[in-house]
């Protein structure tokens, strides 16, 4: 951090107040960034700051040339295209509450929809290629078509990943596992609240 951030802002004709509004922080925070008083910054803040200064995340973190040319065939990494990796997701609290966010992971999607990542726990979907510790990307939406893979919350409990089907007032959540202990779960919507959190669009393998 340091004066290069202030120099870039001034070159663009922007005030600290305008940057603060673009990044959604206080004007005092911008001042502390520019003075180097705050040396570490959250990844989503870096992305927003880079966008506000019309530069790259690398410039924000290191001061590398804001207009550096990329090697032939390379694509600029846009840290704005990230989605939060959520911890426990419960129906009774906002998904994007600060206490739920563990990290930010890049995504390829640019459709403007809201996405989030979840860690896979257990082996109920290992026959579908989702193993313990993998991360799935979820497109936030309240409905999915029958047979689609969804993140669902039943009775306000933690999110579960299953193939979704609805027949009238019945919801069937079907696992796909090599472990025979996992069987379809059937819920009567008149007796048990079931909420769709989103559609699973991608699985990210995590090798530990």
Residues designated as active site: 124, 162
* End-to-end Cα distance, the chain: 32
Task: Show the CA angle centred on residue 65, arms to residues 47 and 81, nearest 5°.
Answer: 20
What secondary structure letter does DSSP report for 148?
-
Q: Do residues 19 and 30 make contact, with C-beta atoms less than 8 angstroms apart? A: yes
Which residue do the tokens 């960034």 mark? Answer: 33
Nearest CA among 126, 136, 130 for reference residue 201: 136
User: Position of tokens 């991360």?
Assistant: 135
């Amino acid at each position: 951090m340091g004066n290069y951030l202030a120099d870039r802002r001034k070159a663009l004709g922007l005030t600290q107040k305008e940057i603060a509004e673009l990044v959604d922080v206080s004007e005092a925070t911008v001042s502390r960034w520019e003075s180097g008083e705050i040396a570490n910054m959250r990844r989503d803040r870096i992305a927003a700051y880079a966008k506000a200064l019309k530069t790259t995340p690398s410039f924000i973190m290191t001061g590398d040339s804001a207009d550096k040319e990329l090697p032939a065939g390379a694509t600029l990494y846009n840290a704005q295209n990230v989605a939060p990796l959520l911890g426990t997701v419960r129906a009774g609290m906002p998904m994007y509450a600060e206490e739920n966010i563990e990290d930010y992971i890049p995504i390829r999607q640019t459709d403007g929809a809201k996405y989030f990542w979840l860690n896979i726990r257990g082996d109920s979907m290992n026959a579908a290629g989702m193993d313990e510790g993998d991360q799935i990307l979820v497109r936030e939406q309240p409905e999915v078509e029958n047979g689609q893979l969804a993140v669902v919350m039943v009775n306000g409990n933690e999110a579960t990943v299953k193939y979704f089907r609805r027949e009238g007032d019945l919801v069937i959540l079907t696992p796909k596992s090599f472990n025979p202990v996992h069987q379809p779960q059937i819920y009567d919507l008149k007796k048990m609240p079931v909420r769709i959190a989103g559609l699973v669009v991608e699985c990210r393998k995590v090798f530990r």
